[in-house]
Amino acid sequence: MKVLIFDTAERAAECVAQQVIAQVQGKADSVLGLATGGTMLPIYELLVSANKNKQVSFSQASSFNLDEYVGLNPDHPCSYHKFMRDIFFSKTDFDVARAHLPHGNTGDPEAESEDYENLVLGAGGIDLQLLGIGENGHIGFNEPTSSFRSLTRIKTLTKSTIDANRRFFEAPAEPPKYAITMGIETILRGKMIAVLATGKNKSGAVATMVEGAMGAYCPATALQLHRHTTVVLDQAAASELKMRDYYFQVHPDGKDALV
């Protein structure tokens, strides 16, 4: 794993946005693996600006999002479909016909999961996968004890995940209890992976992901198996890493072209 530590969350997000921009500039029809969550918001803002400034065009790119809540239709204000439309797709030249998310509101979520897995495979695989991390070490919605060989499927969300995501739902609405998520194996098939984690609340999960023993209890530790994963952090998220000085020595101030 390449670990890049920046002094601020803004600079960490810029680093990941730059990686996406470089990927699409180098290959216009890149297949992007996209993520949701608060941590991702500054990345999408930067991508929208870069698109407005004509620095990058997404018109030939395609995308697959990691996950969607079961039971929410694409127009539900808290669905990940709407999140992606509002903050990214509708503000750029992204062709929405090539933007994919699992459908959480189908009558048969199991068949939808299998179809989604096949759709990702059929697209030739993901060139660059963006990831955030949950406080309990989940990636996508792969909760603790998810198999490292898992494919897209339905997962029951933990109380910690439901509590963490409650802020996106207006009370008394409760976050759904289930989600369709790419599996850990689906994620590991991505050619390159960029994980962004910022803030003190992520420092424990980050330390386990990078330096902990690999195990299903912290799904993000599976990324230790991936050859081209870059973990991009601010100081707060990096604060529990034992080898922080070493990472800083290898990539001072996150200096690395990342490509």
| Catalytic residue positions, numbered | 67, 136, 138, 143
Provide the minimum distance between the beta carbon of 257 and ligand GLP in the complex, in angstroms, as a whole number. Answer: 25
Q: What is the dihedral of CA 204, 138, 29, 101, to 10 degrees?
A: -140
Task: Respond yes or no on whether the N-terminal peptide bond of residue 172 is cis (omega within 30° of 0).
Answer: yes
**Interacting span for ligand GLP (CB under 6 A) from 104-112, 127-135, 184-192, 236-244:** 127-135
Provide the minimum distance between the beta carbon of 154 and ligand GLP in the complex, in angstroms, as a whole number. Answer: 14
CB atoms within 10 A of CB 153: 21
Q: Can you tell me the distance from the alpha carbon of 31 to that of 116, in angstroms, rounded to the nearest whole number? A: 14
Question: Which residues 79-118 are close enough to bind ligand GLP by CB under 6 A?
Answer: none
Helix (H) or strand (E) run with residue 140 in it: none
Q: Which residues of 15-44 are buried (b: 16+ CB within 10 A; e: fewer)?
A: bbbbbbbebbeeeeebbbbbbbbebbebbb
36 forms part of the interface with ligand GLP (CB under 6 A)? yes
Cβ atoms of 240 and 203 within 8 Å: the answer is yes
Q: Can you tell me the distance from the alpha carbon of 211 to that of 241, in angstroms, rounded to the nearest whole number? A: 7
Binding pattern for the stretch 57-86 against ligand GLP, x by CB under 6 A and - elsewhere? ---------xx-------------------
**Interacting span for ligand GLP (CB under 6 A) from 93-101, 112-120, 132-140, 217-225:** 132-140
Binding pattern for the stretch 133-162 against ligand GLP, x by CB under 6 A and - elsewhere? xx-----xx-------------------x-
132 forms part of the interface with ligand GLP (CB under 6 A)? yes
DSSP three-state, residue 249: helix
Q: Can you tell me the distance from the alpha carbon of 163 to that of 121, in angstroms, rounded to the nearest whole number? A: 33
Provide the minimum distance between the beta carbon of 55 and ligand GLP in the complex, in angstroms, as a whole number. Answer: 25
Number of residues that bind ligand GLP (CB under 6 A): 14
Residue placing its CB nearer to ligand GLP in the complex, 44 or 56? 44
Q: List the one residue from 6, 13, 15, 37 that touches ligand GLP (CB under 6 A).
A: 37
Residue placing its CB nearer to ligand GLP in the complex, 56 or 84? 84
32 forms part of the interface with ligand GLP (CB under 6 A)? no
Question: Which residues 158-197 are close enough to bind ligand GLP by CB under 6 A?
Answer: 161, 165
Q: Which residues contact 88 (CB under 8 A, 6 or more apart)?
A: 34, 44, 47, 48, 94
Residues within the interface to ligand GLP (CB under 6 A): 35-39, 66-67, 132-134, 140-141, 161, 165
